[in-house]
A and B are shown apart, each in its own frame.
Chain A
Amino acid sequence: MLHIVNKSPLERSSLDSVLQTGADGAILLIEDGVYAVTKGNAAEPKLKAAMGKFKFYALTPDVDARGIADRVMDGVTLVDYAGFVDLVAENKTCQSWL
Chain B
Amino acid sequence: MTTKKFMFVNRKAPYGTIYALESLEVVLIGAAFEQDVSLAFMDDGVYQLKKGNQTKGIEMKNFQPTYRALEDYDVTKLYVDQESLTARGLTADDMSVPVEVMSRAEIGKIMEEQDVLLSF
Contact = CB atoms under 8 A, between A and B. Distances in A.
B32 interface: no
A65 B15 contact: yes
Contacts of A66: 13-15, 47, 50, 53
Interface stretch (B55-63, B98-106, B109-117): B55-63
Interface residues of A, number: 26
A82 to B, nearest CB: 12
B66 interface: no
Contact of B87 (A41, A60, A69, A71): A41
Given A6-B16, A11-B44, A32-B44, A65 B87 contact: no
B54 A67 contact: yes
A10 interface: yes
A10 B44 contact: yes
A44 interface: yes
B33 to A, nearest CB: 31
Interface string B36-67: 00000001100100111111111010101000
A32 B88 contact: no
A24 interface: no
A64 interface: yes
Contacts of B14: 65-66
B57 A8 contact: no
Interface of A: 6-8, 10-11, 31-32, 35, 38-42, 44, 60-62, 64-71, 80
